[in-house]
Chain A
Amino acid sequence: MPEGAPDNPACEHCSKPKTVHVTEIKAGQKIEKHLCKDCPFVNEGVGAGAGGKSHQPINELLSNFVLAHSGAGASTAQKKCEVCGMTWAKFKQGGLLGCENDYSLFEEQLTPLLKRAHEGSTHHTGKVPTRRRGDGAVRKRPNMNRLRRELTRAVEAEDYEAAARLRDQIAETEGN
């Protein structure tokens, strides 16, 4: 049967229809596995992280990711971080990145993964390190929608102390 033929009748380990195609790179050898989605072997290899710590959520994400992008391009396979030596294949095995450069190097591959992990978000909103805030100005302009939502919730929860604080904060922000 030619590789990647669509009518694969059964998983390698049980008789269910196979829907997951896992490509592993072990010692430079490309190993392809064809499994059903419920098969415990799906997570094998992609599973156990560095130091033996299991990252269940990231492993699930990664196996889903592999499912959606089974034909990951050759350019991805060849990319290797010049700072830490991380490759996409190694990351898929361990679930951990090697250095901050990996986030830029694999930005394209990481984006769909981050979306799945973080309810669709791909951009940070929140605290920014002081030394990046420049002139020591306010860390971040308060988000008015958020403040109003919080105020409603505080009133509903009868937390009047918080409500008063939020009201003042809203007034102050509007005044600016």
Chain B
Amino acid sequence: MKLSDLTGKAGEWLRGSGPMSETVISSRIRLARNVKGYTFLTTASRKHRRELEGRIRETILDADLAPKTLYVDLDQATELDRELLVERHLISRHHAAAEGARGVAVGSEEDLSIMVNEEDHLRLQVLKSGLQLDEAWEQINDVDDALEEQLEFSFHPRFGYLTACPTNVGTGIRVSVMLHLPALKLLGEIEKVFRAAKDMKLAVRGLYGEGTEATGDFYQVSNQTTLGKDEQELISDFKHTTIPKIIDYEHQARRTLRSERATALDDIVFRALGVLRSARLMSSEEALKLLSHLRLGIHLGRVKDIEIQAVNELVLMTQPAHLQKLMDKKLEGDDRKAARAEFIRYKLKAV
């Protein structure tokens, strides 16, 4: 499997077919682990860093974790390839921009990725479409067990799994759910969700995680507490309490829009579709915003000839690195905006 195999299609998490997929884009669980006997990367020498990378890479490739596993040496990869992996949520921005021996293993379905030598020696991640937290946990727990047969992880009887940053110590788990909340945004109620999330010690971030602005009404909700709460309890809280509450709230807002502000809703949805089908220059922020409104219109039955999956794919394919890979050339400024507009028109079967 090659990196170029990824470009033309969307990953498992963008199928748009998982449970609650009209509101939940994806469910992600990641575990942070460090290998016993090596210092954390904060203080590791170049030699140890390289040695660790090789050892972990071999362990992953031998462990048969997915039908096919692609390993990318990020120290050797081009900037565009690294950016592509970030856009697909397979590596973090930090991992893309860092230096030194590091890599990522990606399962052929793209639901599994393992970052090697990120902030911790290993960052395992399972990403599923829709609300599938139990499935994600089961898979990642198995991957963790399989790797642990070969690698002894740093573990402390009181502090649990040890991580470079004390905010991850304990379970080392981060549960993140990507939500699409356009109606709450349109009704000006999104701030309430942020406040409620903060009270529950949850972080709300944008489409591309830490430090990114929420664009196109896509929000990532994740836990901050990793010590003193076990994995299944945390997942259960997300699955049965936190996420259903936010979904209910969004659905209520969608119903309000449809019943009380139908014309205004149609105006927003069909303006979005009109611009997407006619524009000649399109920035990625504008594309995300319009695709978000179109997605809402599809779910509420206002737009009937476009599928949600097509919109999900466009969200990904119109990101800068994907666009350049698809067009097979480096594009900047207006050239990139023109290519984006053209690709969207083509996908939405416009003129």
Tell me the A residues contacting B by CB distance below 8 Å.
50-55, 57-58, 61, 83-86, 94-100, 103-104, 110, 113-114, 117-132, 140, 143, 146, 149-150, 153-154, 156-157, 159
- B240 adjacent to A153 (CB under 8 Å): yes
* Contact A98:B228 (CB < 8 A) given known A57-B167, A103-B156, A124-B170: no
How far apart are A122's CB and chain B's nearest CB, in angstroms? 7
- A103 adjacent to B162 (CB under 8 Å): yes
How far apart are B171's CB and chain A's nearest CB, in angstroms? 4
- A157 adjacent to B240 (CB under 8 Å): yes
7 A-B residue pairs with CB within 8 Å: A53-B119, A120-B228, A124-B159, A126-B229, A129-B152, A146-B233, A156-B240
Binds A, one of B37-45, B174-182, B319-327: B37-45
- A113 adjacent to B166 (CB under 8 Å): yes
Nearest-neighbor residue (CB-CB) of A121 within chain B: B228
Q: Which residues of B contact A104 (CB under 8 A)?
A: 156
CB < 8 Å: which of A58, A122, A123, A156 contacts B165?
Answer: A58
Q: Which residues B215-239 have CB closer than 8 A to chain A? A: 224-233, 236
Q: Which residues of B contact A159 (CB under 8 A)?
A: 240
- A122 adjacent to B158 (CB under 8 Å): yes
- Expressed in whole angstroms, the Cα–Cα distance for A129 and B72 within the complex equals 28
B34 at the interface (CB under 8 A from A): yes
Q: Which residues of A contact B156 (CB under 8 A)?
A: 100, 103-104, 124
CB < 8 Å: which of B43, B155, B226, B228 contacts A86?
Answer: B43
- B94 adjacent to A51 (CB under 8 Å): yes
Nearest-neighbor residue (CB-CB) of A106 within chain B: B166
Tell me the B residues contacting A by CB distance below 8 Å.
34, 36, 39-40, 42-43, 94, 97-99, 119, 141, 144-145, 148-149, 152-162, 164-167, 169-171, 173, 201, 211, 224-233, 236, 240-241, 244
Q: Which residues of A contact B244 (CB under 8 A)?
A: 157
- Expressed in whole angstroms, the Cα–Cα distance for A104 and B160 within the complex equals 12
- A97 adjacent to B240 (CB under 8 Å): no
* Contact A84:B39 (CB < 8 A) given known A110-B166, A121-B225, A129-B148: yes
- A99 adjacent to B158 (CB under 8 Å): no
- Please list the 3 inter-chain residue pairs (A to B) with the smallest Cβ-Cβ separation, ordered nearest first: A121-B228, A124-B160, A126-B230
CB < 8 Å: which of A57, A126, A130 contacts B171?
Answer: A126
- Expressed in whole angstroms, the Cα–Cα distance for A12 and B31 within the complex equals 42
- A127 adjacent to B231 (CB under 8 Å): yes
- Expressed in whole angstroms, the Cα–Cα distance for A96 and B41 within the complex equals 9
- B40 adjacent to A98 (CB under 8 Å): yes
Q: Which residues of A contact B241 (CB under 8 A)?
A: 153
How far apart are B203's CB and chain A's nearest CB, in angstroms? 8
How far apart are B59's CB and chain A's nearest CB, in angstroms? 15
- A127 adjacent to B141 (CB under 8 Å): yes
- Expressed in whole angstroms, the Cα–Cα distance for A65 and B105 within the complex equals 38
How far apart are A125's CB and chain B's nearest CB, in angstroms? 5
Given contacts A95-B165, A129-B148, A146-B230, 11 further A-B contacts (CB under 8 A): A58-B167, A61-B167, A84-B40, A98-B42, A100-B162, A117-B166, A118-B225, A122-B158, A124-B158, A124-B159, A126-B160
CB < 8 Å: which of A99, A126, A140 contacts B39?
Answer: A99
- B119 adjacent to A96 (CB under 8 Å): yes
- Expressed in whole angstroms, the Cα–Cα distance for A149 and B99 within the complex equals 46
CB < 8 Å: which of A84, A97, A119 contacts B225?
Answer: A119
How far apart are A46's CB and chain B's nearest CB, in angstroms? 14
CB < 8 Å: which of A50, A110, A124 contacts B228?
Answer: A124
* Contact A126:B170 (CB < 8 A) given known A103-B162, A153-B240: yes
Q: Which residues of A contact B236 (CB under 8 A)?
A: 146, 149-150, 153
- Expressed in whole angstroms, the Cα–Cα distance for A130 and B119 within the complex equals 24
CB < 8 Å: which of B149, B154, B159, B160 contacts A130?
Answer: B149
